[in-house]
Structure 1
Amino acid sequence: MSLTRRAALAAPLILAAGAAAAQSGPLTLAQIRANGRLRIGCEATYPPFTFRESGNIVGYDVELATAICRSIGVTPEFIDTQWSGVIPALYAGRFDIIMSSMSYTRARMERVAFTIPYAEAGQSLLIRARDANTIRSIGDMGGKSLGVKLGSPGETLHPRLAERMRAAGGQPFSGVRTYDDHPAAYLALMQGTVDGVLNTLPTLAYVMRSQPNRFAIVRGIGADNWAGIALRREDTEVLAWLNERLRAMRADGSLKALQEKWFGLEFNLPDTIPEPAA
Protein backbone atom coordinates (compact mmCIF):
# COMPACT_ATOMS: atom_id res chain seq x y z
CA MET A 1 0.00 0.00 0.00
CA SER A 2 1.34 3.39 -0.88
CA LEU A 3 3.34 5.35 1.67
CA THR A 4 1.40 8.52 0.90
CA ARG A 5 -1.92 6.79 1.31
CA ARG A 6 -0.82 5.60 4.70
CA ALA A 7 1.32 8.51 5.83
CA ALA A 8 -0.99 8.96 8.78
CA LEU A 9 0.56 5.86 10.34
CA ALA A 10 3.21 8.21 11.67
CA ALA A 11 0.82 9.34 14.42
CA PRO A 12 2.55 10.24 17.68
CA LEU A 13 4.13 7.27 19.42
CA ILE A 14 2.50 8.32 22.67
CA LEU A 15 -0.85 7.16 21.32
CA ALA A 16 0.34 3.60 20.96
CA ALA A 17 2.22 3.67 24.25
CA GLY A 18 -0.79 4.93 26.16
CA ALA A 19 -3.04 2.28 24.66
CA ALA A 20 -0.64 -0.61 25.27
CA ALA A 21 -2.05 -1.22 28.72
CA ALA A 22 -5.20 -2.60 27.12
CA GLN A 23 -3.30 -5.82 26.29
CA SER A 24 -1.92 -7.26 29.53
CA GLY A 25 1.11 -9.35 28.65
CA PRO A 26 1.95 -11.09 25.37
CA LEU A 27 -0.82 -12.69 23.34
CA THR A 28 -0.43 -16.46 23.13
CA LEU A 29 -1.72 -19.16 20.81
CA ALA A 30 -3.56 -20.69 23.76
CA GLN A 31 -5.50 -17.44 24.17
CA ILE A 32 -6.34 -17.35 20.45
CA ARG A 33 -7.54 -20.96 20.60
CA ALA A 34 -9.65 -20.20 23.66
CA ASN A 35 -11.23 -17.26 21.85
CA GLY A 36 -11.84 -19.41 18.76
CA ARG A 37 -10.83 -16.55 16.49
CA LEU A 38 -7.96 -14.36 15.36
CA ARG A 39 -9.02 -10.71 15.21
CA ILE A 40 -7.47 -8.91 12.25
CA GLY A 41 -7.38 -5.17 11.66
CA CYS A 42 -7.64 -4.12 8.02
CA GLU A 43 -8.70 -1.37 5.68
CA ALA A 44 -11.50 -2.96 3.67
CA THR A 45 -11.19 -0.58 0.73
CA TYR A 46 -8.08 -2.03 -0.91
CA PRO A 47 -8.87 -4.71 -3.52
CA PRO A 48 -7.82 -7.38 -3.93
CA PHE A 49 -6.28 -7.54 -0.44
CA THR A 50 -9.33 -6.61 1.65
CA PHE A 51 -12.53 -5.15 0.24
CA ARG A 52 -16.29 -5.49 0.59
CA GLU A 53 -18.45 -7.63 -1.65
CA SER A 54 -22.17 -7.99 -0.87
CA GLY A 55 -21.46 -6.53 2.55
CA ASN A 56 -18.73 -9.05 3.44
CA ILE A 57 -14.98 -8.43 3.66
CA VAL A 58 -13.26 -10.61 1.07
CA GLY A 59 -9.93 -10.79 -0.72
CA TYR A 60 -6.46 -12.27 -0.84
CA ASP A 61 -5.78 -11.48 2.82
CA VAL A 62 -9.04 -13.10 3.91
CA GLU A 63 -8.30 -16.38 2.14
CA LEU A 64 -4.70 -16.36 3.35
CA ALA A 65 -5.76 -15.69 6.95
CA THR A 66 -8.36 -18.45 6.76
CA ALA A 67 -5.68 -20.94 5.69
CA ILE A 68 -3.31 -19.78 8.43
CA CYS A 69 -5.98 -19.97 11.16
CA ARG A 70 -7.06 -23.45 10.08
CA SER A 71 -3.77 -24.80 11.46
CA ILE A 72 -4.88 -24.08 15.05
CA GLY A 73 -8.61 -24.59 14.58
CA VAL A 74 -9.77 -20.96 14.75
CA THR A 75 -11.39 -18.55 12.29
CA PRO A 76 -10.27 -15.07 11.26
CA GLU A 77 -12.43 -12.07 12.13
CA PHE A 78 -11.60 -9.04 9.98
CA ILE A 79 -12.28 -5.67 11.59
CA ASP A 80 -12.57 -2.73 9.18
CA THR A 81 -10.51 0.11 10.62
CA GLN A 82 -9.60 3.67 9.74
CA TRP A 83 -6.04 3.27 8.56
CA SER A 84 -4.77 6.43 10.22
CA GLY A 85 -5.36 4.85 13.64
CA VAL A 86 -4.62 1.21 12.92
CA ILE A 87 -1.46 0.89 15.04
CA PRO A 88 -2.92 2.60 18.13
CA ALA A 89 -5.99 0.37 17.72
CA LEU A 90 -3.74 -2.70 17.67
CA TYR A 91 -2.13 -1.66 20.96
CA ALA A 92 -5.51 -0.78 22.42
CA GLY A 93 -6.50 -4.44 21.97
CA ARG A 94 -9.15 -3.89 19.32
CA PHE A 95 -7.60 -6.69 17.27
CA ASP A 96 -4.66 -9.10 17.41
CA ILE A 97 -2.79 -8.41 14.17
CA ILE A 98 -2.84 -6.04 11.20
CA MET A 99 -3.18 -7.61 7.78
CA SER A 100 -3.84 -5.20 4.94
CA SER A 101 -0.74 -5.03 2.73
CA MET A 102 1.28 -2.99 5.21
CA SER A 103 4.67 -2.28 3.65
CA TYR A 104 7.91 -2.19 5.64
CA THR A 105 9.17 1.23 6.72
CA ARG A 106 11.59 2.19 9.47
CA ALA A 107 8.90 4.19 11.27
CA ARG A 108 6.53 1.24 11.34
CA MET A 109 9.20 -1.25 12.36
CA GLU A 110 9.98 0.87 15.41
CA ARG A 111 6.37 0.44 16.54
CA VAL A 112 5.32 -3.07 15.48
CA ALA A 113 6.80 -6.48 14.74
CA PHE A 114 6.50 -7.80 11.19
CA THR A 115 6.34 -11.26 9.68
CA ILE A 116 8.31 -12.22 6.62
CA PRO A 117 6.76 -10.85 3.40
CA TYR A 118 3.55 -12.22 1.94
CA ALA A 119 3.10 -9.68 -0.89
CA GLU A 120 5.13 -7.35 -3.07
CA ALA A 121 4.67 -3.61 -2.66
CA GLY A 122 7.20 -2.07 -5.07
CA GLN A 123 6.40 0.28 -7.92
CA SER A 124 5.69 -1.08 -11.41
CA LEU A 125 4.57 0.41 -14.71
CA LEU A 126 1.23 -0.29 -16.37
CA ILE A 127 1.34 -0.08 -20.17
CA ARG A 128 -0.98 -0.96 -23.04
CA ALA A 129 -0.80 -4.61 -24.04
CA ARG A 130 0.15 -3.71 -27.60
CA ASP A 131 3.26 -1.90 -26.31
CA ALA A 132 4.64 -4.89 -24.39
CA ASN A 133 7.27 -5.62 -27.05
CA THR A 134 8.58 -2.06 -27.16
CA ILE A 135 8.40 -0.98 -23.51
CA ARG A 136 10.32 -3.52 -21.45
CA SER A 137 12.08 -1.22 -18.96
CA ILE A 138 11.83 2.34 -17.71
CA GLY A 139 14.48 3.32 -20.25
CA ASP A 140 12.04 2.49 -23.04
CA MET A 141 9.77 5.25 -21.75
CA GLY A 142 12.19 7.90 -23.02
CA GLY A 143 10.27 10.42 -25.11
CA LYS A 144 6.96 8.99 -23.89
CA SER A 145 4.35 10.39 -21.50
CA LEU A 146 3.92 9.12 -17.95
CA GLY A 147 0.80 9.21 -15.75
CA VAL A 148 0.93 9.45 -11.95
CA LYS A 149 -1.59 10.01 -9.17
CA LEU A 150 -1.37 13.24 -7.20
CA GLY A 151 0.41 12.62 -3.90
CA SER A 152 1.34 9.02 -4.70
CA PRO A 153 4.77 7.37 -4.45
CA GLY A 154 4.80 7.45 -8.26
CA GLU A 155 4.65 11.23 -8.21
CA THR A 156 7.63 11.25 -5.85
CA LEU A 157 9.51 8.63 -7.84
CA HIS A 158 9.25 9.97 -11.40
CA PRO A 159 11.93 12.72 -11.11
CA ARG A 160 14.44 10.10 -9.95
CA LEU A 161 13.45 7.84 -12.82
CA ALA A 162 13.95 10.69 -15.30
CA GLU A 163 17.39 11.37 -13.84
CA ARG A 164 18.28 7.69 -14.14
CA MET A 165 17.22 7.74 -17.79
CA ARG A 166 19.40 10.80 -18.48
CA ALA A 167 22.37 9.24 -16.66
CA ALA A 168 22.07 6.17 -18.89
CA GLY A 169 22.30 8.41 -21.95
CA GLY A 170 18.63 8.20 -22.86
CA GLN A 171 15.76 10.61 -23.13
CA PRO A 172 13.60 11.55 -20.15
CA PHE A 173 9.82 11.44 -20.28
CA SER A 174 8.23 13.70 -22.87
CA GLY A 175 5.84 14.79 -20.14
CA VAL A 176 4.27 13.74 -16.85
CA ARG A 177 0.53 14.08 -16.32
CA THR A 178 -0.91 14.10 -12.82
CA TYR A 179 -4.36 12.71 -12.00
CA ASP A 180 -6.57 12.92 -8.93
CA ASP A 181 -6.89 9.12 -8.79
CA HIS A 182 -5.42 6.07 -10.46
CA PRO A 183 -8.56 5.04 -12.39
CA ALA A 184 -8.41 8.36 -14.25
CA ALA A 185 -4.79 7.62 -15.13
CA TYR A 186 -5.69 4.12 -16.38
CA LEU A 187 -8.40 5.62 -18.59
CA ALA A 188 -5.88 8.09 -20.01
CA LEU A 189 -3.57 5.16 -20.74
CA MET A 190 -6.32 3.33 -22.65
CA GLN A 191 -7.13 6.52 -24.59
CA GLY A 192 -3.49 7.11 -25.53
CA THR A 193 -3.03 10.31 -23.53
CA VAL A 194 -0.17 8.73 -21.58
CA ASP A 195 2.03 5.72 -22.35
CA GLY A 196 2.49 4.33 -18.84
CA VAL A 197 1.12 4.68 -15.30
CA LEU A 198 3.03 4.09 -12.06
CA ASN A 199 1.50 2.19 -9.12
CA THR A 200 2.30 -0.77 -6.86
CA LEU A 201 2.63 -4.18 -8.50
CA PRO A 202 -0.30 -5.86 -6.68
CA THR A 203 -2.69 -3.06 -7.59
CA LEU A 204 -1.63 -3.05 -11.23
CA ALA A 205 -1.82 -6.84 -11.40
CA TYR A 206 -5.41 -6.66 -10.17
CA VAL A 207 -6.22 -3.99 -12.78
CA MET A 208 -4.71 -6.13 -15.52
CA ARG A 209 -6.56 -9.24 -14.31
CA SER A 210 -9.84 -7.32 -14.14
CA GLN A 211 -9.49 -6.07 -17.72
CA PRO A 212 -7.94 -8.92 -19.72
CA ASN A 213 -5.88 -8.20 -22.83
CA ARG A 214 -5.86 -4.43 -22.31
CA PHE A 215 -2.69 -3.98 -20.28
CA ALA A 216 0.79 -5.33 -19.53
CA ILE A 217 3.11 -4.69 -16.60
CA VAL A 218 6.79 -3.73 -16.44
CA ARG A 219 8.07 -4.82 -13.03
CA GLY A 220 10.95 -3.51 -10.92
CA ILE A 221 10.60 0.18 -11.71
CA GLY A 222 11.38 1.56 -8.26
CA ALA A 223 13.12 0.21 -5.19
CA ASP A 224 11.95 -3.24 -4.13
CA ASN A 225 9.50 -3.32 -1.25
CA TRP A 226 7.18 -5.87 0.28
CA ALA A 227 4.30 -6.16 2.74
CA GLY A 228 4.05 -8.22 5.91
CA ILE A 229 1.64 -8.97 8.73
CA ALA A 230 2.08 -6.62 11.69
CA LEU A 231 1.55 -7.33 15.39
CA ARG A 232 2.57 -6.07 18.83
CA ARG A 233 6.28 -6.40 19.43
CA GLU A 234 5.75 -8.50 22.58
CA ASP A 235 3.62 -11.14 20.82
CA THR A 236 6.60 -13.31 19.91
CA GLU A 237 4.78 -16.67 20.01
CA VAL A 238 2.17 -15.45 17.54
CA LEU A 239 4.88 -13.99 15.31
CA ALA A 240 6.72 -17.34 15.21
CA TRP A 241 3.48 -19.15 14.33
CA LEU A 242 2.64 -16.74 11.50
CA ASN A 243 6.12 -17.03 10.03
CA GLU A 244 5.99 -20.82 10.24
CA ARG A 245 2.67 -20.89 8.40
CA LEU A 246 3.81 -18.48 5.69
CA ARG A 247 6.93 -20.56 5.08
CA ALA A 248 4.88 -23.77 4.99
CA MET A 249 2.44 -22.28 2.47
CA ARG A 250 5.31 -21.12 0.30
CA ALA A 251 6.82 -24.60 0.42
CA ASP A 252 3.62 -26.47 -0.50
CA GLY A 253 2.60 -24.04 -3.25
CA SER A 254 -0.64 -22.87 -1.61
CA LEU A 255 0.59 -19.28 -1.21
CA LYS A 256 1.50 -19.16 -4.90
CA ALA A 257 -1.95 -20.50 -5.80
CA LEU A 258 -3.64 -17.68 -3.85
CA GLN A 259 -1.44 -15.08 -5.53
CA GLU A 260 -2.27 -16.40 -8.97
CA LYS A 261 -5.98 -16.50 -8.11
CA TRP A 262 -6.17 -12.89 -6.92
CA PHE A 263 -3.40 -11.19 -8.91
CA GLY A 264 -2.76 -13.42 -11.91
CA LEU A 265 0.95 -13.69 -11.08
CA GLU A 266 3.37 -14.98 -8.45
CA PHE A 267 5.14 -12.56 -6.13
CA ASN A 268 8.91 -12.57 -5.74
CA LEU A 269 9.25 -12.82 -1.96
CA PRO A 270 12.46 -12.84 0.11
CA ASP A 271 12.84 -15.42 2.88
CA THR A 272 13.62 -12.80 5.53
CA ILE A 273 12.36 -9.37 6.49
CA PRO A 274 13.96 -6.86 4.09
CA GLU A 275 15.72 -3.65 4.98
CA PRO A 276 12.89 -1.16 5.42
CA ALA A 277 12.25 1.83 3.22
CA ALA A 278 12.74 5.25 4.78
Structure 2
Amino acid sequence: MRPSPLDRPWREILFASVSRPLVDSARRLILGAAFVLASSIAASSVNAEETAPKVWTEVTIASEGSRPPYNYFDNNELAGFEIDLGRELCSRMKVSCRFVAQDWDGLIPGLLAHQYDAIMAAMEITDAAREKIAFTKPYVRMPSAFMASRDNVPADVSPAGLAGKRLGVESGGPHQAFLEDLYKQSEIHAYATLEEAVLDLAESRLDAVIGDKDALDEFIRTRHEAQNCVFVSDVPRDPVYFGDGDGVGLRKSDVALKAMFEKALDSVMEDGTFAKIRAKYFNFDIN
Protein backbone atom coordinates (compact mmCIF):
# COMPACT_ATOMS: atom_id res chain seq x y z
CA MET A 1 0.00 0.00 0.00
CA ARG A 2 1.27 3.47 -0.93
CA PRO A 3 1.76 5.69 2.12
CA SER A 4 -0.61 8.58 2.51
CA PRO A 5 0.87 12.11 2.28
CA LEU A 6 -0.29 12.58 5.83
CA ASP A 7 2.16 9.88 6.91
CA ARG A 8 5.19 11.82 5.54
CA PRO A 9 7.24 14.03 7.90
CA TRP A 10 6.11 17.68 7.86
CA ARG A 11 9.55 18.94 6.70
CA GLU A 12 9.34 16.78 3.57
CA ILE A 13 5.88 18.08 2.86
CA LEU A 14 7.05 21.69 3.31
CA PHE A 15 10.10 21.44 1.05
CA ALA A 16 8.25 19.32 -1.49
CA SER A 17 5.78 22.18 -1.84
CA VAL A 18 8.52 24.73 -2.63
CA SER A 19 9.87 24.86 -6.15
CA ARG A 20 13.61 24.30 -6.75
CA PRO A 21 14.12 27.78 -8.40
CA LEU A 22 12.78 29.50 -5.28
CA VAL A 23 15.15 27.54 -3.05
CA ASP A 24 18.15 28.42 -5.23
CA SER A 25 17.13 32.07 -5.26
CA ALA A 26 16.90 32.16 -1.48
CA ARG A 27 20.31 30.59 -1.16
CA ARG A 28 21.82 33.18 -3.51
CA LEU A 29 20.27 36.02 -1.50
CA ILE A 30 21.67 34.63 1.75
CA LEU A 31 25.14 34.11 0.28
CA GLY A 32 25.12 37.61 -1.28
CA ALA A 33 24.15 39.25 1.99
CA ALA A 34 26.88 37.38 3.79
CA PHE A 35 29.47 38.51 1.22
CA VAL A 36 28.37 42.16 1.49
CA LEU A 37 28.55 41.98 5.28
CA ALA A 38 32.03 40.43 5.22
CA SER A 39 33.26 43.04 2.73
CA SER A 40 31.89 45.89 4.87
CA ILE A 41 33.63 44.53 7.96
CA ALA A 42 36.93 44.20 6.07
CA ALA A 43 36.65 47.71 4.63
CA SER A 44 35.87 49.16 8.05
CA SER A 45 38.94 47.44 9.45
CA VAL A 46 41.18 48.86 6.70
CA ASN A 47 39.77 52.38 7.08
CA ALA A 48 40.21 52.26 10.85
CA GLU A 49 43.80 51.17 10.35
CA GLU A 50 44.48 53.97 7.84
CA THR A 51 42.98 56.69 10.03
CA ALA A 52 44.53 55.54 13.28
CA PRO A 53 46.94 58.24 14.53
CA LYS A 54 50.60 57.35 14.17
CA VAL A 55 52.49 56.83 17.39
CA TRP A 56 55.74 58.79 17.02
CA THR A 57 58.77 57.19 18.63
CA GLU A 58 61.45 58.49 16.24
CA VAL A 59 61.61 61.74 14.27
CA THR A 60 64.05 62.41 11.43
CA ILE A 61 64.85 66.10 10.91
CA ALA A 62 66.47 67.50 7.77
CA SER A 63 68.75 70.54 7.81
CA GLU A 64 70.95 72.14 5.20
CA GLY A 65 74.28 72.40 7.01
CA SER A 66 75.34 75.59 5.25
CA ARG A 67 73.72 78.42 7.21
CA PRO A 68 75.79 79.15 10.32
CA PRO A 69 74.99 79.69 13.10
CA TYR A 70 71.59 78.08 12.40
CA ASN A 71 73.05 74.92 10.91
CA TYR A 72 76.52 73.89 9.75
CA PHE A 73 78.92 70.96 9.75
CA ASP A 74 81.34 70.32 12.60
CA ASN A 75 83.60 67.26 12.11
CA ASN A 76 81.21 66.02 9.42
CA GLU A 77 78.26 66.21 11.82
CA LEU A 78 75.36 68.66 11.65
CA ALA A 79 75.63 71.29 14.38
CA GLY A 80 74.33 74.73 15.25
CA PHE A 81 71.43 76.50 16.87
CA GLU A 82 68.70 74.53 15.11
CA ILE A 83 70.37 71.20 15.79
CA ASP A 84 70.63 71.95 19.52
CA LEU A 85 67.05 73.22 19.59
CA GLY A 86 65.81 70.20 17.64
CA ARG A 87 67.42 67.78 20.09
CA GLU A 88 65.80 69.59 23.01
CA LEU A 89 62.40 69.50 21.30
CA CYS A 90 62.72 65.76 20.61
CA SER A 91 63.65 65.16 24.23
CA ARG A 92 60.49 66.93 25.37
CA MET A 93 58.40 65.06 22.83
CA LYS A 94 59.89 61.81 24.21
CA VAL A 95 61.06 60.62 20.79
CA SER A 96 64.48 59.67 19.50
CA CYS A 97 65.93 62.23 17.14
CA ARG A 98 67.99 61.79 13.95
CA PHE A 99 69.36 64.56 11.73
CA VAL A 100 70.06 64.26 8.01
CA ALA A 101 71.64 66.76 5.61
CA GLN A 102 69.71 67.89 2.55
CA ASP A 103 70.47 70.60 0.00
CA TRP A 104 68.10 73.55 0.03
CA ASP A 105 66.25 72.82 -3.23
CA GLY A 106 65.52 69.27 -2.11
CA LEU A 107 64.21 70.06 1.38
CA ILE A 108 60.49 70.28 0.63
CA PRO A 109 60.45 67.54 -2.06
CA GLY A 110 62.27 65.19 0.33
CA LEU A 111 59.78 65.90 3.11
CA LEU A 112 56.83 65.21 0.82
CA ALA A 113 58.51 61.99 -0.34
CA HIS A 114 58.71 60.83 3.32
CA GLN A 115 62.52 60.78 3.31
CA TYR A 116 62.35 62.56 6.70
CA ASP A 117 59.65 63.92 9.00
CA ALA A 118 60.53 67.57 9.61
CA ILE A 119 62.66 70.46 8.36
CA MET A 120 64.69 72.78 10.59
CA ALA A 121 66.79 74.82 8.18
CA ALA A 122 66.11 78.52 8.78
CA MET A 123 63.08 78.11 6.50
CA GLU A 124 60.85 81.16 6.35
CA ILE A 125 57.11 80.75 6.72
CA THR A 126 55.81 82.12 3.44
CA ASP A 127 52.52 81.82 1.56
CA ALA A 128 54.29 79.95 -1.26
CA ALA A 129 55.75 77.40 1.17
CA ARG A 130 52.42 77.04 2.98
CA GLU A 131 50.82 75.83 -0.24
CA LYS A 132 53.03 72.72 -0.07
CA ILE A 133 53.73 72.05 3.61
CA ALA A 134 52.65 73.01 7.12
CA PHE A 135 54.66 75.00 9.66
CA THR A 136 54.75 75.18 13.41
CA LYS A 137 54.59 78.55 15.11
CA PRO A 138 57.88 80.39 14.46
CA TYR A 139 60.91 79.68 16.64
CA VAL A 140 62.87 82.55 15.05
CA ARG A 141 61.65 86.03 14.22
CA MET A 142 64.90 87.62 13.16
CA PRO A 143 64.82 91.36 13.81
CA SER A 144 65.89 93.86 11.22
CA ALA A 145 68.21 96.66 12.26
CA PHE A 146 69.89 99.87 11.18
CA MET A 147 73.67 99.99 11.35
CA ALA A 148 75.78 103.15 11.14
CA SER A 149 79.34 104.32 11.56
CA ARG A 150 80.44 104.77 15.15
CA ASP A 151 81.47 108.33 14.22
CA ASN A 152 78.09 109.27 12.76
CA VAL A 153 75.27 107.61 14.71
CA PRO A 154 71.80 108.99 13.85
CA ALA A 155 69.81 110.10 16.85
CA ASP A 156 66.54 109.01 15.25
CA VAL A 157 65.96 106.23 12.71
CA SER A 158 62.33 107.08 12.01
CA PRO A 159 61.45 108.20 8.44
CA ALA A 160 61.55 111.81 9.65
CA GLY A 161 64.84 111.31 11.47
CA LEU A 162 66.53 109.81 8.39
CA ALA A 163 65.06 112.27 5.87
CA GLY A 164 67.78 113.32 3.45
CA LYS A 165 70.14 110.56 4.68
CA ARG A 166 71.86 108.02 2.40
CA LEU A 167 70.53 104.55 3.22
CA GLY A 168 72.05 101.34 1.89
CA VAL A 169 70.08 98.12 1.36
CA GLU A 170 70.36 94.82 -0.45
CA SER A 171 68.50 94.96 -3.75
CA GLY A 172 65.30 93.07 -4.36
CA GLY A 173 64.55 92.04 -0.79
CA PRO A 174 61.94 93.02 1.79
CA HIS A 175 64.17 95.71 3.28
CA GLN A 176 64.27 97.60 -0.01
CA ALA A 177 60.47 97.52 -0.23
CA PHE A 178 60.27 98.68 3.39
CA LEU A 179 62.55 101.67 2.73
CA GLU A 180 60.89 102.62 -0.54
CA ASP A 181 57.43 102.59 1.04
CA LEU A 182 58.21 104.33 4.32
CA TYR A 183 61.46 106.30 3.87
CA LYS A 184 60.46 108.31 0.84
CA GLN A 185 62.44 111.38 1.98
CA SER A 186 65.68 109.41 2.23
CA GLU A 187 68.25 108.73 -0.47
CA ILE A 188 68.01 104.98 -1.02
CA HIS A 189 70.95 103.07 -2.53
CA ALA A 190 70.31 99.43 -3.51
CA TYR A 191 73.27 97.04 -3.76
CA ALA A 192 73.64 93.60 -5.28
CA THR A 193 74.72 92.26 -1.87
CA LEU A 194 74.49 93.43 1.72
CA GLU A 195 78.27 93.17 1.93
CA GLU A 196 78.69 95.89 -0.70
CA ALA A 197 76.39 98.19 1.26
CA VAL A 198 78.34 97.61 4.49
CA LEU A 199 81.64 98.31 2.74
CA ASP A 200 80.30 101.63 1.46
CA LEU A 201 79.07 102.46 4.96
CA ALA A 202 82.57 101.78 6.28
CA GLU A 203 83.90 104.20 3.65
CA SER A 204 81.41 106.90 4.75
CA ARG A 205 79.56 106.78 1.44
CA LEU A 206 76.35 105.96 3.35
CA ASP A 207 74.79 107.20 6.56
CA ALA A 208 73.14 103.89 7.53
CA VAL A 209 72.47 100.37 6.30
CA ILE A 210 69.42 98.23 6.99
CA GLY A 211 69.36 94.43 7.01
CA ASP A 212 68.71 91.29 9.02
CA LYS A 213 70.38 91.69 12.38
CA ASP A 214 72.16 88.33 12.25
CA ALA A 215 73.81 89.18 8.92
CA LEU A 216 74.87 92.64 10.11
CA ASP A 217 76.14 91.20 13.38
CA GLU A 218 78.33 88.74 11.47
CA PHE A 219 79.92 91.63 9.57
CA ILE A 220 80.67 93.51 12.76
CA ARG A 221 82.21 90.43 14.38
CA THR A 222 84.18 89.03 11.46
CA ARG A 223 85.07 91.80 8.99
CA HIS A 224 87.74 94.34 9.82
CA GLU A 225 86.09 96.79 7.39
CA ALA A 226 83.06 96.88 9.69
CA GLN A 227 84.89 97.28 12.99
CA ASN A 228 83.87 100.93 13.19
CA CYS A 229 80.19 100.08 12.59
CA VAL A 230 77.56 99.76 15.32
CA PHE A 231 73.90 98.88 15.65
CA VAL A 232 71.70 101.94 15.95
CA SER A 233 68.26 100.45 16.49
CA ASP A 234 66.08 97.46 15.72
CA VAL A 235 63.31 98.02 13.21
CA PRO A 236 59.75 97.40 14.50
CA ARG A 237 58.74 94.03 13.08
CA ASP A 238 56.11 94.27 10.37
CA PRO A 239 54.93 90.89 8.99
CA VAL A 240 53.79 92.63 5.81
CA TYR A 241 57.44 93.20 4.91
CA PHE A 242 59.42 90.76 7.04
CA GLY A 243 57.12 87.72 7.16
CA ASP A 244 56.16 85.49 10.07
CA GLY A 245 59.59 84.08 10.88
CA ASP A 246 61.14 80.62 10.64
CA GLY A 247 59.26 77.49 11.69
CA VAL A 248 59.55 73.72 11.66
CA GLY A 249 58.38 72.44 8.27
CA LEU A 250 56.05 69.40 8.32
CA ARG A 251 53.75 67.46 6.05
CA LYS A 252 50.18 68.79 6.24
CA SER A 253 48.92 65.31 7.08
CA ASP A 254 51.09 65.02 10.22
CA VAL A 255 48.74 66.98 12.45
CA ALA A 256 49.70 65.11 15.62
CA LEU A 257 53.42 65.69 15.04
CA LYS A 258 52.82 69.40 14.55
CA ALA A 259 50.95 69.54 17.87
CA MET A 260 53.86 67.73 19.56
CA PHE A 261 56.41 70.19 18.19
CA GLU A 262 54.35 73.20 19.19
CA LYS A 263 53.82 71.92 22.71
CA ALA A 264 57.57 71.37 23.03
CA LEU A 265 58.30 74.85 21.63
CA ASP A 266 55.95 76.43 24.15
CA SER A 267 57.72 74.52 26.90
CA VAL A 268 61.27 75.59 25.95
CA MET A 269 60.15 79.20 25.57
CA GLU A 270 58.41 79.29 28.93
CA ASP A 271 61.13 77.76 31.12
CA GLY A 272 64.05 79.73 29.66
CA THR A 273 65.71 76.83 27.85
CA PHE A 274 65.25 78.50 24.47
CA ALA A 275 67.07 81.62 25.69
CA LYS A 276 69.98 79.50 26.93
CA ILE A 277 70.32 77.71 23.59
CA ARG A 278 69.97 80.99 21.69
CA ALA A 279 72.69 82.66 23.78
CA LYS A 280 75.24 80.12 22.51
CA TYR A 281 74.78 81.41 18.96
CA PHE A 282 73.25 84.91 19.06
CA ASN A 283 73.99 87.79 21.39
CA PHE A 284 70.55 89.33 20.90
CA ASP A 285 66.93 88.20 21.05
CA ILE A 286 65.67 86.35 17.97
CA ASN A 287 62.05 85.67 18.85
The separation in 2 between residues aligned to 1:31 and 1:249, in whole angstroms, is 20
Closer, same or farther in 2 for the Cα pair 1:255/1:128, shift >3 Å?
A: farther
* Mapped pair 1:160 → 2:181: yes
Q: Which of the two has higher C-alpha Rg?
A: 2
With a CA cutoff of 8 Å and minimum separation of 6, indicate the structure with the bigger relative contact order. 1
Which shifted more, 146-155 or 226-235?
146-155
Q: Which residue of 1 aligns with 2:230?
A: 215
Match of 1:243 among 243, 262, 265: 262
Give the aligned length: 230
Q: Which residue of 2 aligns with 1:7?
A: none
Describe the SS at the equivalent of 1:183: helix
Confirm or deny: 8 A CA contact 1:146 1:175 kept in the other structure. Answer: yes
Confirm or deny: 8 A CA contact 2:61 2:97 kept in the other structure. Answer: no
The separation in 1 between residues aligned to 2:55 and 2:232, in whole angstroms, is 40
Which shifted more, 50-59 or 145-154?
50-59
Q: Which residue of 2 aligns with 1:78?
A: 100
The separation in 1 between residues aligned to 2:158 and 2:208, in whole angstroms, is 11
Deviation at 1:231, TM superposition (A): 0.3
Confirm or deny: 8 A CA contact 2:140 2:286 kept in the other structure. Answer: yes
Amino acid at match of 2:276: A
* Mapped pair 1:42 → 2:68: no
Closer, same or farther in 2 for the Cα pair 1:73/1:180, shift >3 Å?
A: same
Which shifted more, 213-222 or 91-100?
213-222
Deviation at 1:205, TM superposition (A): 4.2
Q: TM-score, normalised by structure 2?
A: 0.69
The 5-angstrom pairing of residues 1-12 of structure 1 reads none
* Mapped pair 1:198 → 2:224: no
Q: Which residue of 1 aligns with 2:170?
A: 149
Describe the SS at the equivalent of 2:186: coil
The separation in 2 between residues aligned to 1:25 and 1:210, in whole angstroms, is 52
Q: Which residue of 2 aligns with 1:174?
A: 187
Gaps of 5+ in 2: 1-49
Confirm or deny: 8 A CA contact 1:29 1:238 kept in the other structure. Answer: no
Describe the SS at the equivalent of 1:127: strand
The separation in 2 between residues aligned to 1:148 and 1:202, in whole angstroms, is 15
Amino acid at match of 2:56: A
Match of 1:187 among 195, 199, 204: 199
The separation in 1 between residues aligned to 2:55 and 2:220, in whole angstroms, is 39
Amino acid at match of 2:100: F
* Mapped pair 1:120 → 2:120: no
Q: TM-score, normalised by structure 1?
A: 0.71
Describe the SS at the equivalent of 1:262: coil
Describe the SS at the equivalent of 2:161: helix
Deviation at 1:117, TM superposition (A): 1.4
Closer, same or farther in 2 for the Cα pair 1:136/1:232, shift >3 Å?
A: same
Match of 2:285 among 266, 269, 272: 266
- Per-residue CA distance 1:9-42 (angstroms, 9 max, x = gap): xxxxxxxxxxxxxxx989845341xxxxx32223
The separation in 1 between residues aligned to 2:88 and 2:76, in whole angstroms, is 22
The separation in 1 between residues aligned to 2:100 and 2:210, in whole angstroms, is 30
* Mapped pair 1:30 → 2:56: yes
Closer, same or farther in 2 for the Cα pair 1:29/1:183, shift >3 Å?
A: farther
Describe the SS at the equivalent of 2:235: coil
- Per-residue CA distance 1:98-123 (angstroms, 9 max, x = gap): 11222222222232111111111454
Amino acid at match of 2:99: E
The separation in 1 between residues aligned to 2:194 and 2:256, in whole angstroms, is 39
Which shifted more, 142-151 or 242-251?
142-151
Deviation at 1:85, TM superposition (A): 3.5
Gaps of 5+ in 1: 1-23, 33-37, 164-171, 269-278
Deviation at 1:58, TM superposition (A): 2.3
Describe the SS at the equivalent of 2:120: strand
Closer, same or farther in 2 for the Cα pair 1:44/1:198, shift >3 Å?
A: farther
